[in-house]
Structure 1
Amino acid sequence: MHLQTHVFGPADAPSVLAIHGLTGHGRRWESLAAAHLADVRVVAPDLIGHGHSPHLPPWSYDHHVDALTAVVDEHIPAHARPFVVVGHSFGGAVAVRLAAALGADVVRGLVLLDPAQGLDPAWALQVATDSLTHWDYADADAARAAKRAEGWADVPDALLDKEIAEHLIDLDNGRVGWRVAAAAAATAWSEMARPFVLPPAGVPTTVVVAERVDPAFVSEAFLRACAAERAESVEVVRADCGHMVAYDDPDLTAGLIRAMIGHR
């Protein structure tokens, strides 16, 4: 499946594959790329069911990995490998599985921003059900208020305005909603309730835990497993911010990506 892919930065710069979170899109990485990583080539696809990529199923982890592998083949040539993968939330869960599929010869390192996997199934069901119940909004102001209540409390106004302008669309029922397939979003909550997967052995990984998120997306069980089984390759960074890490703390995010680019 061919994904709509946004590319920011110079063609001859080190490449980073950036994977957005649930209900997101690749252009969410544009502000970070322009203001903090201007000398890095950021390849940012819209995931299946999101943005301008195809919305048709299937929407499983495996199919996301297959589609992203095709993005890598198209946009990151052999001379630009190994490269760094950064993933936010659901995108972090996908990033771990993509790294396992591609291997350490292709993936230089992982930066996982509040990765969401191994979620409590009962909680995932509740959130998925609630999100489908409140999937659309009366107008842009209502959509904006919902974002502020759903983890965007500290995101700058300009970035939220940009999200509204680029990602909110008119629906057939006369209301508005995000450019996302509702069924794909529900499926993602199901996937995130599957057991967590550790980063591949030998792939340097930074896990960012957003400490203002309650309940947490990053489980203590996952962190303990990383400490026990990946102590030599996984670093945990606890950030005093909300779930939208790249928006809330772009300096930290860019610094971690740059450090991973320079990792040997």
Structure 2
Amino acid sequence: MSVTEWGDPQGPPVVCLHGVTGHGRRFRKLGEERLASYRVVGVDYRGHGFSTWEPPWSVEQHVADLVDTADALGIAGAAWLGHSFGGKLVAELAARHPDRVERAILLDPALHIEPPVAFERAELTRTDVTFGSADEAIDARLGDGSLFTTPRAFLEEETAEHLVDSGAGRLRWQYAPGAVIVAWSEMANEPPPWPQCQTLVVTGERSWISIRVPRIANIAHVVVPGGHSVLWDDFDATADAVVRFLG
């Protein structure tokens, strides 16, 4: 797996998992600016970014990859942070390897998406969509109705990290079509149990995901004003919640 690290190499580890179609470098701002005293690790998981695109792309394989990657990095237990599909993977990891997940941070987690909605979202993330320029890709992302207050500068960084040449002078996002299809199928399956460790859940008030967070002692729930992409629409509020939780 391809990983990127920020912060203090000797600090407590925080392993960050992106959403479907994303990549681990999305956590740079959080790692550099707000968690500088931690060892922050962003992972590109299978089928995304610079990691292998070889199948299988099942939840079981992703969890196995994450365990192997943590072992290779010398990380036994850690705080695990996941956005969207990454939140589902954190919960799956906590259920299967509870000793690995000391704390869980779930950012608008896609623990379960009803099949019709999952199919609709899969259609929106087709990989045959290409762009003539980075600006065109940014305009398309800002115009799809899912972002509300995301600064354009965030998406300029995203295009620099995640757009690749698709040929004939066109650009596309860097993820494997099959991995995306399988991920949406996995999100339509039964949800994993909520983590038993101390857990922070941050949800977007205007998110397209409908999630009922249980009112139990080990789970803290914070609602931020924007949509599903809480680290883009509401970076400060989300980062503040994460820092308070870890501190």
TM-score by length of 2: 0.92
In 1, Cα distance between the equivalents of 2:206 and 2:162? 25
Residue 158 (structure 2) aligns with:
163
1:46-57 equivalences under 5 Å are 46-57=44-55
1:195 aligns with 2:180: no
In 1, Cα distance between equivalents of 2:124 and 2:16: 28
- Name the structure with the higher strand share: 2
**Does the C-alpha gap of structure 1 residues 160 and 70 become closer, same or farther in structure 2, counting only changes over 3 Å?**
same
SS of equivalent to 1:132: coil
Match of 1:219 in 2: 211
Segments of structure 1 that go 5 or more residues without pairing to the other structure are none
Are the structure 2 counterparts of residues 191 and 71 from structure 1 closer, same or farther at C-alpha, using a change threshold of 3 Å? same
Does 2:31 align with 1:33?
yes
Is the contact made by 1:108 and 1:261 (CA closer than 8 Å) also made in structure 2?
no
Q: State whether structure 2 residue 141 is matched by structure 1 residue 147.
A: yes
Structure 1: which amino acid aligns with 2:200?
T
Structure 2 Cα separation of the partners of residues 179 and 235 of structure 1: 34
The residue number in structure 2 matching 1:108 is 102
Aligned-residue CA RMSD in angstroms? 1.8
Q: Report the count of equivalent residues.
A: 246
Equivalent position SS for 1:207:
strand
Are 1:147 and 1:153, in contact at CA under 8 Å, matched by a contact in 2?
no
Q: How do 1:34-113 residues align onto structure 2 when only pairs under 5 Å count?
A: 34-78=32-76, 81=77, 83-103=78-98, 105-113=99-107
Q: 1:125·1:189 contact (CA, 8 Å) conserved in 2?
A: yes
Q: Say which of 216, 240, 243 aligns to 2:225.
A: 240
Distance 1:237 1:76 in 2: 31
SS of residue matched to 2:79: strand
| CA distance in 2: counterparts of 1:239 and 1:198, whole angstroms | 23
Deviation at 1:139, TM superposition (A): 3.1
Do structure 1's residue 184 and structure 2's residue 169 form an aligned pair?
no
Per-residue deviation at 1:124? 1.0
Deviations 1:13-41 (A, max 9, x none): 11101101111111110111111111111
Unpaired runs of 5+ residues, structure 2, are: none
Q: Percent of counterpart pairs with the same letter?
A: 37
Shift of 1:6: 0.5
Distance 1:98-1:167 versus aligned 2 partners, 3 A rule: same
Give the partner amino acid of 1:183.
G
Tell me which protein shows more helix as a share of its residues.
1
Secondary structure in 1 aligned to 2:123?
helix
